[in-house]
């Protein structure tokens, strides 16, 4: 109850009232008065505090839910010992399969390389074979011996050029000092002159180099 001044009045003497602002019986003769504005502000403040408390509770619940979710994710992402063993076995099987494929492929490449190692050289010699076949066919009706010799000389020069292009070169022997590392003595004869003692007088079979490697030893006659 309020009077014209805008104040609420409380009557302490009423038996149902415990506080000044709780009494519903507000006679005009009460000596206690609380402004209406203060009561409204107190109600608003109490409402704001209740809303703030509710918001804090929601935030705490959300944080708890997030923490629980993170813990579940961590529990799920941590593999067990059995899972680790299965993963290791799978990795081993994949690596073994890759190694087997690599080994088979390497062996096949080696076999192919050995089987076709001389392919390039043989291709270069095929024109020489063609020249010999033509020369033999023409020699049946050729009466000029000089022309025949020239034909064979041209084939030999061509063949020698291909050999040198591949790095094959003859080993010089006659007049050279005997060297057991590259020469093979098949006979010893008296030296025709003093300066040929201990030197090669004749080569029965020429030796050859492939680049700097000896691919055939020279069979020679040494003077004594």
Q: What is the pLDDT of residue 215?
A: 93
How far apart CA 5 and CA 87 sit, in angstroms, is 86
Question: What residue ranges in 45-192 does DSSP mark as E strands?
Answer: 168-170, 183-189
Q: How many CB atoms lie within 10 A of CB 9?
A: 20
Give me the CATH topology for the region 167-224.
Nucleotide Exchange Factor Grpe; Chain A, domain 2 (2.30.22)
Which residues of the chain register pLDDT less than 50? Answer: 1-36, 38-39, 73
Burial of 30 (0-12, 13-18, 19+ CB in 10 A): buried
Q: What is the pTM of this model?
A: 0.49
pLDDT value of residue 51? 63
Distance between start and end Cα atoms, the chain: 155
Q: Burial of 148 by CB count in 10 Å (0-12 exposed, 13-18 middle, 19+ buried)?
A: middle
Contact 25, 11 (CB under 8 A): yes
**What are the residue boundaries of the structural domains of the chain, listed by start?**
1-77, 79-117, 119-166, 167-224
pLDDT of residue 96: 94
Q: Which two tokens stand for residue 48?
A: 């704001």
Distances from the Cα of 74 to the Cα of 80, 84, 85, 187, angstroms: 12, 16, 20, 90
Closest CA to 43 of 14, 4, 8, 3: 8
pLDDT in tens, 6-55: 444 444 444 444 444 444 444 444 444 444 454 455 555 556 566 656 66
């Amino acid at each position: 109850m309020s009077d014209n001044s805008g104040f609420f009045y409380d009557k302490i003497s009423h038996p149902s009232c415990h506080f000044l602002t709780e009494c519903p019986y507000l006679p005009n003769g009460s000596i206690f008065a609380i402004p209406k504005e203060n009561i409204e502000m107190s109600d608003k403040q109490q409402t704001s505090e209740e809303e703030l408390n509710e918001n804090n509770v929601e935030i705490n619940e959300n944080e708890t839910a997030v923490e629980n979710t993170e813990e579940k994710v961590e529990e799920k992402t941590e593999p067990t010992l059995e899972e680790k063993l299965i993963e290791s076995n799978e990795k081993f099987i994949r690596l073994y399969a890759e190694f087997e494929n690599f080994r088979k492929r390497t062996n096949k490449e080696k076999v192919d390389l050995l089987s076709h190692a001389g392919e390039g050289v043989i291709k270069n010699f095929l024109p020489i074979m063609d020249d010999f076949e033509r020369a033999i066919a023409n020699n049946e009706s050729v009466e000029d011996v000089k022309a025949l010799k020239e034909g064979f000389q041209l084939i030999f020069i061509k063949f020698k050029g291909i050999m040198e292009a591949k790095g094959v070169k003859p080993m010089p022997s006659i007049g050279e000092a005997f060297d057991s590392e590259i020469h093979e003595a098949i006979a010893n004869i008296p030296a025709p002159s003093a300066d040929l003692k201990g030197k090669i007088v004749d080569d029965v079979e020429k030796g050859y180099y492939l680049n700097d490697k000896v691919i055939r030893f020279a069979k020679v006659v040494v003077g004594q």
